[in-house]
Structure formats: C-alpha cells, structure tokens
C-alpha cells in the first residue's frame, strides 16, 4: 500500500489537499503535520477506507470534521490538533472501532457535545479534546473505554456532573478536566488504580465528598487533591506542582515530556 510518510511533515506546503489524491484508493497513511495547508478537510478522505493514520495537525484547516468519518473502520490514529476547525464532532466517529488515538485539541471552535458513540471504540487509549468550545455533559458511555489511558478535555464549556463511570477506567493514567463548568457534587468514587496525574481545577463543583472519602488514598478526590475548604466550589492541586498526586517518578517524568512535546 502507498503511505505518505514523514517527509511530508514539517514543510511549508500551502493550499488545500489536492483533489487528485482521491484516486489513491489504497492509501494507508496521510502525514501532513506542521505545514501551512488551508481549506476544509476534503470529504474524499472518508472514501480512502484503507487509511490507518491521519496526521493533519499544525496546519490551518477550516470547516467541519467530515461527517462520514465513520467510513474509516481501519483508522487507528487521527490527529487534527492545532487547526481552525469548527462544528461538532460527528457521531459517526463511533464506527471507527479500530481507533487508538484521537487528538482534536486546540481548534477552539469545535463545539457541540462529546458524542456518546465514542463509547463504542473499545481500543481507544488517548482522547484529547482540550482547548475547544465543547459543551454538554461528559457521557456516561466514557466508562466503556476499558483501555483508555489519557482523558484530556480541559478548556472547554463542558457542564454537568463528573460521571461515576470514570472509576471503571482501570487503565487511566492521566485525567485532565480543568477549566470547564463541571458542577454538582464531586463524586465520592474510587480513583482508577493507575491514575498518576489528575487536574480538576478550576470547575464549579458545589458539594464535596464526605471527609472520610476525602482522606482515603484510593478515592478520586484524594488522587485529584480536591480542596473542600471554603465554599467547596473549587479544587486545588496542592499535592505536587502541576496537579500530581501520588505519582511515581516515572509518571512525573513521562507527564512532563507529554506536556512539553504536546504530542505534536
């Protein structure tokens, strides 16, 4: 199969993706990161059903994520970070059952809710939807993602409660939900067993778990260093700089690298 590999990254290509690429029926990888490409993401990409990787991050694409994205049932990674995309995440993404990585962060105008259909992607490990304009609530179906390791949705307008199904994510290592409008009570649930980095502030939680839950090292409130002083409407991450709580040195180092590199 044809694979457009890393030599197309980090150049100064401009303009739209050429329509002539629609004829590349067996294309398996599209790597165009960090160029100066513009225009919409072409709809014909959703007809290239052998695609396993799409990396269009660091460009200036506009318009919406193609509604027929779900045609790409072999897709394993999709990175659209740092463009100017707008509109909702299509519900059809739930048909991309081979996905391991979704990064739609840093588009600022991607709006609507997190699709409930994302709960249909069993192998999803990395979900980064940060720095957009998402609203609505975190769907309970997130608890279906048994392999999820990173759940990053900070800097949106997401409201409602933090679903108790978070406790079901046994592989979760990074939980970043800060800078939203999450409300209600901070859940009195257990932390996922591998959780090493949690940032839950600021939000607008109104009530806190009982004191014994707050003091329990196995609770999510403890892992997130949730602060129930004063009105209980905010949390802090005082356990360690940047929101670490009970993190091992390996997790701290790995997290620092992730934050520095921003998965570009």
Question: Domain boundaries in the chain?
Answer: 3-261
HEC-encoded secondary structure of 108-143: CEEEECCCHHHHHCCCCCEEECCCCEECCECCHHHH
Q: Which two tokens stand for residue 129?
A: 């939807």
pLDDT of 235 higher than 50? no
CATH assignment of 3-261, among 3.30.950.10, 3.80.10.10, 3.40.1690.10, 3.40.50.720: 3.80.10.10
The span from the CA of 173 to the CA of 81, in Å, is: 21
pLDDT tens for 54-105 read 999 999 999 999 999 999 999 999 999 999 999 999 999 999 999 999 999 9
When pLDDT is cut at 50, 70 and 90, the band that residue 8 belongs to is: confident
Centroid of chain to Cα 78:
11
Cis amide leading into 202 (omega within 30): yes
Q: What is the pTM of this model?
A: 0.86
């Amino acid at each position: 199969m044809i694979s457009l590999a890393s030599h197309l990254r980090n150049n100064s290509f401009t303009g739209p993706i050429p329509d002539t690429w629609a004829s590349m029926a067996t294309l398996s990888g599209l790597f165009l990161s960090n160029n100066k490409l513009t225009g919409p993401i072409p709809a014909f990409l959703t007809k290239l059903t052998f695609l396993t990787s799409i990396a269009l991050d660091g460009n200036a694409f506009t318009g919406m994520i193609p509604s027929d994205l779900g045609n790409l049932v072999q897709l394993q990674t999709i990175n659209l970070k740092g463009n100017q995309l707008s509109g909702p995440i299509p519900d059809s993404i739930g048909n991309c059952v081979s996905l391991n990585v979704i990064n739609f962060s840093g588009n600022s105008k991607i709006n609507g809710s997190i699709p409930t259909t994302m709960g249909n992607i069993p192998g999803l490990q990395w979900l980064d939807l940060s720095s957009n304009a998402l609203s609505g609530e975190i769907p309970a179906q997130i608890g279906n993602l048994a392999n999820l390791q990173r759940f990053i949705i900070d800097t949106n307008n997401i409201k409602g409660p933090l679903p108790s199904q978070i406790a079901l994510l046994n592989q979760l290592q990074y939980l970043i939900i800060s800078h939203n409008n999450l409300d209600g009570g901070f859940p009195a649930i257990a932390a996922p067993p591998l959780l090493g980095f949690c940032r839950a502030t600021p939000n607008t939680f109104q009530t806190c778990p009982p004191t014994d839950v707050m003091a329990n090292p196995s609770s999510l409130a403890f892992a997130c260093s949730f602060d129930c002083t004063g009105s209980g409407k905010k949390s802090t991450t005082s356990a360690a700089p940047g929101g670490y709580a009970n993190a091992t040195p390996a997790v701290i180092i790995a997290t620092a690298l992730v934050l520095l590199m921003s998965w570009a």
